[in-house]
Every structure is written in C-alpha cells, then in structure tokens.
Structure 1
Amino acid sequence: MHIEKEGWARLIHGRLELVCNADRSVAMGVMVGDAATGQASLFPKNARRRGPATDMVTRANAGEGAPHVQTALFVAGVGPDGVALSEEEAFALKTWFLLSYRTKMGDTVRIDCELSQPSSFQDGFVAEWGKRIPLPALVMDGIEPVNDDGSEEIDIPVDFR
C-alpha cells in the first residue's frame, strides 16, 4: 500500500530488500528475531546471520560514513517500483527492521514483533539496537496445518505412445 499510494519504493542491495519512503529518509525491512523479540526488558538478536548490506545500513544508522566507494549500493528493483540510490543517499537513510519471532503451542500461534533500528553489527549479527518499539503480540488459535495434497487422491491419465 505504501508503494502504491504514498510513493514508497523498493531498494535491493545484495540479498537485502527494503522499502523506502518518497523522500528517501527512512527505509524498512524484515528480520527474524529470537525469543527476546518484542520484550522491552530483553535484548533480541537476529536469528540468522546477515550480510554486508545489513552492516552497511547499520553503519548509516549509527552516522558512520561509507568506508569505500561502491558503484551501486542499492540497485533498481524489478519493475517500476524500484529505485537506485547514490552512496550519499544510501548513507543518509535511517533503516528500521520489523523483527518477528513465532512460537507455536498446540493449536495456538503467537508472533512477537518489534520495530527496531540496528546501531551496531558484528560477525553477521546485530550487536546493539538504537531505537526499539515493541508491538503487541499477535495470537492466533485454531490454526490448521495446510494439506497440500487435498482431501482426495489425484488421478492424472497418461496416454502411452
């Protein structure tokens, strides 16, 4: 909706995909966190190792300049919704991540979330978060497992030659 109605655009750098607002000042991405996600008194970590693009946006959040010149920090996304940013624009961007952590207990699924800004990055993991906004947990019950095969057998006739 933000892309369609408010001028937001896709940004892609390596395997990091974000969306940024129309004036290129704020970007948002998603990241899977650990059990501390959404808990204001705890310190969450990203569940999986992240790459140099996450390091770059973390340095930009901390106000650090570019360590060396790169030809394209963000390249245009697929289709008309993607943009390319100059190095200066990329390092002016403040990036937030929607962290989420999913827990399943019986038929109930709980998803803890927070919107957070990484400020320090080491060895593929966020070492420090600047600003954090814990969000209310989403709790869903009655989740039924997906049956990809359907309820009946599939019979596909094959003509032999």
Structure 2
Amino acid sequence: MLKHPAQPPDGSTKIVSPDEADARLREWGLSVEHFRKSVTYGDDARKRVDQPWYPRTYAGVAMWAETLAGLRRQLKKLQQGWKIGRTGNYETVYSQEKRLAFAVVAGDKYTGTRGKRHPKLTRKRGPKTRERVERNAEFVQPTLWGDIGGNRSASPQSADLTPDEDCSTWFLVVHADDDEIRLELSLARDIGDGLVGEWVERILIPPIPSSGAVAPIESDEDDDDDGESMVFRATSR
C-alpha cells in the first residue's frame, strides 16, 4: 500500500534529512537521483541558452521545462505507470495507481535547508494550484507521524476529477544559489495569500554544485488561473 504522510496533531512540518531522503522515496519506488538528475538536465539546458541573444528570462523557462521533462522521462522509464499530466495546463508527472503527482516550482533561499523558517514559493499561485493544495488534505492521514500509511478513500468528488488531478501534488522546489542548486520534494498544506509556505512534509535532497544557475520560471500564472492554452493554432475559415 502506498504510504502517504501523516499530519501531526500540532500542525508542525515533518522534515526528512538528506541522508534519510532515499529511504523515504523508496516507499514510492523512487530515489534521490531521479530528482537530482532532473534538475541537472534543467541546469544543462540553462547553460546552453544563457547567452545574450536569447530573451532575458529564457534561461529560467528552459530550466523549468527541461527539469520537468527530465523527471517525466526518468519516471516513465521505470514502467510503474507514470504519465504526463496537464489538465487545465497544470503540468505534472503523475501515477494514477499511487495517486501521486509532481510539479516543478521555484522556492526562496530557505529551500533545501533547515533554515530560520520553511521555504516559500517565489510566485503567487492561482486557483489551479489552490485546488491542488487543498486536495492534498484529503490524502494526509490525521495520525501521529509514526503511523504513516493508507490511501484516500473514494469520494463522489473524485469521480469528477481527471486522473492527474485526483492525486496528492508534491512540489519539486528548486532554488539557485551562487555556487549550488538546492532542492527538496515537499507537500504543501496551505496557500495562504497565494505564496505557498506551509508544508506537511519536506524531503530535503542533497544540493547540486553549479555556478551561474537560475531559478526555474514556470508557465504563466494566467494559464494556471484560467486554463488558456499557451499555444495558439490557426483555425480554418
């Protein structure tokens, strides 16, 4: 049975240290390297386009897109039922069987560390993200941390959702510092004023050495808000 995190009674956040991250991810049939490699793919793409003739923000867009693409390619190779999710233009990789989805986002300087506070995402989120975060509560077990496990039971609402929405949605949070890229895999529990910064669980992943790295720039929040396609196609008349 797939293990989902349990919600502590006091609402605190469980933090999985980098040396324990592999053991936690093995519960899902995954490893730290799946996520580190995906971020490395993104950073390699960033290096190729970090040139003056490209638009200023393009390196960040490439970082986000190639990180997500790299994660999708790796997980699909596992032959564990991982698929591409993009309902409402919300881009994820997900498993219907595990009822688990991953999205790539940018975090602030507290990403990947036990800092003075938990990290926050760097951009305000729209209704699609809010729906995902609120749905996460349905997958969290209201028990002590030592009693982790269990899937969400079926509900009438789930019948109205597409498979990539009927999941808990974890964020691969990425932050680029001067000489390294810090990352973590975290489950949000509250979106507050639009800046996600409250977490059920944070799985800290060892950083990746890199100079000149940039934060991933995700697709426009307007697309997240209203589901309009980023691709415009000519229509016949």
TM (normalized to structure 1)? 0.64
Match of 1:57 in 2: 132
Residue 14 of structure 1, CA deviation: 3.0
State the number of aligned residues: 122
**Is residue 21 of structure 1 aligned with residue 91 of structure 2?**
no
CA contact (8 A) 2:124 2:196 kept: no
Q: CA deviation at 1:4?
A: 4.1
Equivalent pair of 1:49/1:125 in contact (CA under 8 Å): yes
Report the 3-state secondary structure (helix = DSSP H, G, I; strand = E; otherwise coil) of the residue aligned with 1:43.
coil
Matched, 1:48 2:126: no
Distance of 1:121 and 1:62 partners within structure 2 = 12
Render the CA deviation track for 1:43-99: whole Å, top value 9, x for unaligned. Answer: 1000111111111111111129xxxx7xx75xxxxxxxxxx43xxx734x1111110
- Partner of 2:76, secondary structure, is helix
Query: What's the secondary structure of 1:62's corresponding residue?
Result: helix
- Report the residue type matching 1:9 in the other structure: K
Residues 62 and 120 of structure 1 are in contact (CA less than 8 Å); yes or no, is this contact kept in structure 2?
no
Retained in 2: the 8 A contact 1:37–1:113?
Answer: yes
Judging by fraction of residues, say which structure has more helix: 2
CA apart distance, 1:10: 1.3
Work out the CA distance in 2 between the residues paired with 1:51 and 1:13: 14
Q: Are 1:3 and 2:76 counterparts?
A: yes
Name the structure where strand makes up a greater proportion of residues. 1
1:93-104 map, 5 Å: 93-104=167-178
Looking at both structures, which has the greater relative contact order when contacts are Cα pairs under 8 Å and sequence separation is at least 6? 2
> Structure 2: 5+ residue runs without aligned partners?
1-73, 140-156, 213-237
One-letter amino acid matched to 1:136:
P
Identity of aligned residues (%): 31
The aligned counterpart of 1:134 is 204
SS in 1 for 2:104: strand
Residues 77-156 of structure 1 mapped to structure 2, 5 A cutoff: 84-85=162-163, 90-91=165-166, 93-104=167-178, 109-141=179-211
Aligned equivalents of 1:130, 1:136: Cα separation in 2: 20
**Greater C-alpha Rg:** 1
SS at match of 2:182: strand
Cα distance 1:97–1:54, how it changes in 2: closer, same or farther (>3 A)?
Answer: same
Q: CA RMSD in A?
A: 2.8
Mapped partners of 1:136, 1:5: distance in 2: 22
Q: Which moved more, 1:41-50 or 1:94-103?
A: 41-50
Matched residue, 2:26: none
Gaps of 5+ in 1: 74-83, 144-161
